[in-house]
A = this chain, B = another copy of it.
Amino acid sequence: MTEFNEKQLEILQVAEQLFAEDGFDGTSVRDIAKKANVNIAMISYYFGSKEKMLEALVLNRISDMRLQLESLYHENIPPFAKIDKMVELYITRINKNRCIYQIIHFEFSTKKRELNFESFTEMKQSNLETFKNIIKEGQDSGEFQKDINVALLPPIIMGTYFQFHMNKPLYMKIFDLKTEEEYNNYILTTLTQHIQKTIKALLVYEN
């Protein structure tokens, strides 16, 4: 993979923000160029095209989640603690790269765009295997139930987060979160705990 210079990285950063705000189609290369203080032609000059820039952006941002998850798997801590840490890893990571996840899920999921989506699906499947291993530890120790559909656990974690975030105005109102900081703090504390609790409850629930 090619490395990017400072100017290219700044363009990507601006693009990331604008894409997440206004969508891929809703953002013009002129908007990006203007905000990044570069000439319009630089997008084509550097990345080839607008679409290829998006491709470069995604690949540049999403790359090391697998390693983090693998690392967690090999930690020597009790199953429940590991679940907590895993959920926390998911949330902090998604929350940090909120923009790019939004782009990936809400722009790319439509089948019209054909990028190298396979690598992304592969990553997910790989992560799912590690996920299964982590659950299996708790099952082997007798702490978790046996009949767990592990593949449906990530949607709970990520889905709950996204659904919360997509209704940001509503929840800021309900929970009286006045600033961006308070909102973010709520995600990293209460919402994270809520999701941790949900997953753990499901893992021990007897039908």
Contact = CB atoms under 8 A, between A and B. Distances in A.
A169 B23 contact: no
Given A21-B110, A23-B23, A105 B152 contact: no
A155 B125 CA distance: 24
Interface string A150-188: 011011101111111011111101110000000000000
Interface stretch (A66-74, A134-142, A194-202): A194-202
A130 to B, nearest CB: 15
B194 A152 contact: yes
- Sorting the interface of chain A by its residue count into under 10, 10 to 19, 20 to 34 or 35 or more gives 35 or more
A22 interface: yes
A110 B159 contact: no
B202 A26 contact: no
A170 B121 contact: yes
Q: Give chain A's interface secondary structure class.
A: helix
A20 interface: yes
Contacts of A111: 21-23, 26
A15 B160 CA distance: 28
A112 B18 CA distance: 11
A186 B45 CA distance: 47
A207 interface: yes
Interface of A: 20-23, 25-26, 102, 105-107, 109-112, 117, 121, 124-125, 128, 149, 151-152, 154-156, 158-164, 166-171, 173-175, 190-191, 194, 197-198, 200-202, 204-205, 207
